[in-house]
Amino acid sequence: MGHGIAQTIALAGCQVQAYDSDSGLTSALHDRVKKNLQTMVANGALSNVDEDSVLSRIQRCSSETEALSDSDFVIEAIAEDLAVKQAFFSRCEDIVSESTILASNTSSFPMSAMASELKHPERAINTHWFNPPHIIPVVEVVPGVKTDEETIDKATTFLKALGKHPVRIHQELPGFVLNRLQVALFREMLDLVGRGVISAEDLDIAVRGSLGLRWAAVGPMKVGDFGGWDILSKVYQVLASEIRSDTSLPEVLQDMQYSGDVGLKAGKGFFEFPSEDQHEVVADKDQKFMAWAKLLKDAYQDSSDRS
Ligand SMILES: NC(=O)c1ccc[n+]([C@@H]2O[C@H](COP(=O)([O-])OP(=O)(O)OC[C@H]3O[C@@H](n4cnc5c(N)ncnc54)[C@H](O)[C@@H]3O)[C@@H](O)[C@H]2O)c1
């Protein structure tokens, strides 16, 4: 995640000081970003880009202290381990100024827990990006209980300046909002596929060409308004008790864990991914993400032109 976040910030014209405890990854950062930029231009996600100038804004640092010094906004995308993140933020406070924003890209920990040892927890905030971070527009902005409004404003303004769509989350719930929705939907989808009600392939076709399209175009809550909540209330009452609601791992997932067929990295999940094709499969997926992200950007542009 870190390289895509660094790329997005440099592309927007800001200076980045990047550090990974794996020095090989820090050294490879410019190559990774360069490849991403070329793919984005080739797929129309960027009209043109001065690669050298973007890369010149990403300083590859040989220590954490070098990366943190004189920074206005820190974003950590390190290991998903609460103690590691807490220790990182404590070290930050010894180096950065009192006004520096401390942001985490954690997928799961509330900022209140990560900032519990901080002298100034009011400037700490979760900014939860989505993979690939240089393509997916939305970033969840989740303040901790001690985060102040100024920090929320600064984080939101910064993300907007990067071309992102920050969305404020008002309570520190596990999984924030979007991962909760993803799990809720996966529970039902995996149940239906596991029971043989629909194949994985047909489920993807069905969702992409119906719910996914409507949600991408206007969003699920507006789809509800268009459909009418009176009708949806009736459907809800009939179906709510029918859909899966327990907390155990769906059987189909248990089987996949057992067989080791856990997806792309194993060469097989619901679909087959021969190892010789994996690079192409990922490139094709990223290309599709870029095409749809561009459509979404154009759609937002159209609506702001009209307003
Ligand atoms: N992968 C995703 O889809 C995704 C999505 C949203 C959020 N996140 C979150 O982003 C963070 C990073 O996820 P990732 O998938 O990029 O993980 P990753 O393992 O690919 O990358 C983490 C990197 O951090 C480095 N690192 C670990 N500890 C470090 C330290 N103390 N100082 C400097 N570098 C350190 C590692 O060498 C590694 O390169 C996690 O908190 C994760 O939950 C991941």
> What digits encode the pLDDT tens for the residues 261-273?
999 999 999 999 9
Q: How far is the CA of 202 from the centre of ligand 1 (A)?
A: 33
Q: Is the CB of 207 under 6 A from ligand 1?
A: no
Per-residue tokens: 15 = 């200076």
Q: Is the CB of 131 under 6 A from ligand 1?
A: yes
Enumerate the domain spans of the chain: 2-168, 178-273
Which DSSP letter does residue 105 get? -
Lowest-confidence region among 45-49, 101-105, 214-218, 282-286: 45-49
Taking CA atoms, 271 is separated from 118, 206, 207, in Å, by: 46, 16, 16
The one-letter amino acid at 255: D
Per-residue tokens: 6 = 């660094």
Q: Is the CB of 107 under 6 A from ligand 1?
A: yes
Q: Which residues have a Cβ under 8 Å from the Cβ of 48 and sit 6 or more positions away?
A: 41
What are the pLDDT digits (tens) for 43-74?
A: 888 988 999 999 999 999 999 999 999 999 99
34 pLDDT band, cuts 50/70/90, is very high
What's the CA gap between 64 and 19, in Å, rounded? 6
Lowest-confidence region among 40-44, 123-127, 171-175: 40-44
With beta carbons less than 8 A apart as the criterion, state whether 57 and 16 touch: yes
Q: What's residue 305's pLDDT?
A: 55
Question: Does the pLDDT of residue 123 top 60, yes or no?
Answer: yes
- How buried is residue 22: exposed, middle or buried, by Cβ count under 10 Å (0-12/13-18/19+)? exposed
Pocket test for ligand 1, best of 26, 60, 78 (most atoms within 8 A of CB): 78
Question: Does the pLDDT of residue 307 top 90, yes or no?
Answer: no
Nearest CA to ligand 1 atom 4: 131
What's the CA gap between 160 and 141, in Å, rounded? 12
Choosing among 1.10.1040.10, 3.40.50.2300, 2.70.210.12, 3.40.640.10, the CATH entry for 178-273 is: 1.10.1040.10
What percent of the chain is predicted at pLDDT more than 70? 98
Q: Is the CB of 104 under 6 A from ligand 1?
A: no
- State the architecture of 2-168 in CATH terms: 3-Layer(aba) Sandwich (3.40)
Q: Is the CB of 259 under 6 A from ligand 1?
A: no
Q: How large is the average pLDDT for residues 217-223? A: 96
Residue 120 three-state SS: coil
Nearest CA to ligand 1 atom 16: 1
Could you give the angle at the alpha carbon of 51 between the alpha carbons of 50 and 57, nearest 5°? Answer: 100
Question: Does the pLDDT of residue 286 top 60, yes or no?
Answer: yes
Question: Does the pLDDT of residue 306 top 60, yes or no?
Answer: no
